[in-house]
Structure 1
Amino acid sequence: SVFSLNCHACASRDFFGSFAFPVLQSLGAGSLIPPAGNCSDNAQACPTASYCFKREDKYEITDGSTWSNAKAHFYVKGCDINAVAGLAVAYKPNECVDYDEKTFAGYKVVRRICACNDRDLCNVSSSVSLLATLLFLAAASLLLH
Structure 2
Amino acid sequence: MDPFRNMGDWKKNMDNFFGDTFWNEFEDVLKPPVPQINLYKFENELICYVNLPGVKDLEKVDVFVDYATLELKGMIDINHSGGEVIKDEIIQGVFERKVELPYPVRKDKINATYQHGLLVLQLHRLVKEGTKKSRLEIKNLEDN
Q: TM-score range by the shorter chain?
A: under 0.3
Whichever of the two has the greater Rg, that structure is 2
Give the TM-score normalised by the residue count of structure 2: 0.26
Give the TM-score normalised by the residue count of structure 1: 0.26
Q: Which has the higher contact order (CA 8 A, sep 6+)?
A: 1
